[in-house]
Amino acid sequence: MTVERARAAFVCACRLDVAVRKPGNVSVVSPGHGMDAALFVASAQAAAGPLFQPGARVGARIEGAVAASWAAAGCNTNLGIVLLCAPIAAAVERQPSARSAGELRRAIESVLGGLDAEDARAAYRAIARASPGGLGEVGDEDVRRIPSVDLRRAMVLAADRDSIARQYANGYADLFELALPLWPRGFPLTEGGDCSAPDAASRARVQRIYLGLLSRLPDSHIVRKHGDAVAQTVMRAAQGWRVRSDAGVAVDAEPAFADWDAALKAAAINPGTSADLCVATLLLAGMIDAPPGAR
């Protein structure tokens, strides 16, 4: 797996994410929260350069990608995506021969084990700049202050309240064990690094990943903005849709699915963390078991 292909897979993963209706999130068919799909694609294209900058440390990748995204979109579209994908990008550069889930997981763990205080300082600056919804004061390692620990330790301290931080703590266990099995193989990229428009089966798989995550993990973004009770309510609703999706029902064709999407947006409820985890899963899928002949 070359860095160039991994970078293309990242942009493709971001495109796939907004190509599919994911209730509460922005998609091509359903803008919301003052944003549309084009903003997310533009920020992904801008972030890809710094995120996959050869030789860069994880913190520098995060800070550079957030700055580039803000320049392109003028708002926070992808902080969680960047936080999740920066260690993956570094892992691909460190071990370009990794083509299986096990190899890539070990490479990511090696990257996480080498994070230091400078990575934490750069990540804190990026998070504070993005100022995600619901970001408040915390007792330990508040991002508005200079960190006293390395980036992984800082994430461990936040793991009980943030699903993205938990991936740093547990070596991306939720993605490798829960979400990635729902996407059986990599997606093809053209010679120019573009991905084709997703077919019905691919769209359904993206929705299954999203619903699988939203139905099992209280969405951190919802918890920060609206509290745990609302997050639990959304999670229970997602469980019903996940059962239908797992049974092969084309949930996207059901009016009630679109109604749920509209209701969440009308209430300003955005399961953004679940979408971030979905994008990172798609990136992993795009780099594992890639089709023969892929660059």
Q: Domains of the chain: which residue ranges? A: 3-196+276-287
End-to-end CA distance of the chain: 7
Q: Which residues contact 284 (CB under 8 A, 6 or more apart)?
A: 88, 101, 104, 175, 176, 180
The reported pLDDT for the residue numbered 138 is 44
Asked if 2 and 295 touch (Cβ cutoff 8 Å), the reply is yes
SS3 breakdown of the chain: % helix, strand, coil, rounded to 5?
65, 0, 35
The reported pLDDT for the residue numbered 282 is 95
The reported pLDDT for the residue numbered 135 is 37
pLDDT in tens, 56-112: 999 999 999 999 999 999 988 999 999 999 999 999 999 998 889 999 999 999 999
CA distances (Å), 256 to each of 251, 263, 264, in order? Answer: 9, 10, 12
The reported pLDDT for the residue numbered 142 is 56
pTM of this prediction? 0.92
Which of 96-105, 139-148, 269-278 bottoms out in mean pLDDT, i.e. has the lowest? 139-148
**CATH 2.40.170 is the classification of domain 3-196+276-287:** no
Question: How far is Cα 62 from Cα 68, in angstroms, rounded to an integer?
Answer: 10
* pLDDT greater than 90 at residue 43: yes
The reported pLDDT for the residue numbered 99 is 84
Q: Is 83 helix (H, G, I), strand (E, B) or coil?
A: helix
Question: How far is Cα 21 from Cα 38, in angstroms, rounded to an integer?
Answer: 14
Mean pLDDT of the chain: 90
pLDDT in tens, 176-234: 999 999 986 777 665 555 677 788 888 899 999 999 999 999 999 999 999 999 999 99
Scored b (16 or more CB within 10 A) or e, 191-218 reads eebebeebeeebbbbbbbbbbbbbbebb
Asked if 113 and 81 touch (Cβ cutoff 8 Å), the reply is no
Question: Rounded mean pLDDT of 9-26?
Answer: 94
Q: What is the distance, to the nearest Å, from the Cα of residue 145 to the centroid of all Cα atoms in its chain?
A: 25
Does the CA dihedral 109-65-7-218 come out positive or negative? positive
The reported pLDDT for the residue numbered 143 is 55
The reported pLDDT for the residue numbered 154 is 93
Question: How far is Cα 68 from Cα 292, in angstroms, rounded to an integer?
Answer: 33
* Helix ranges (DSSP H) in 192-267: 200-214, 220-226, 228-246, 255-266
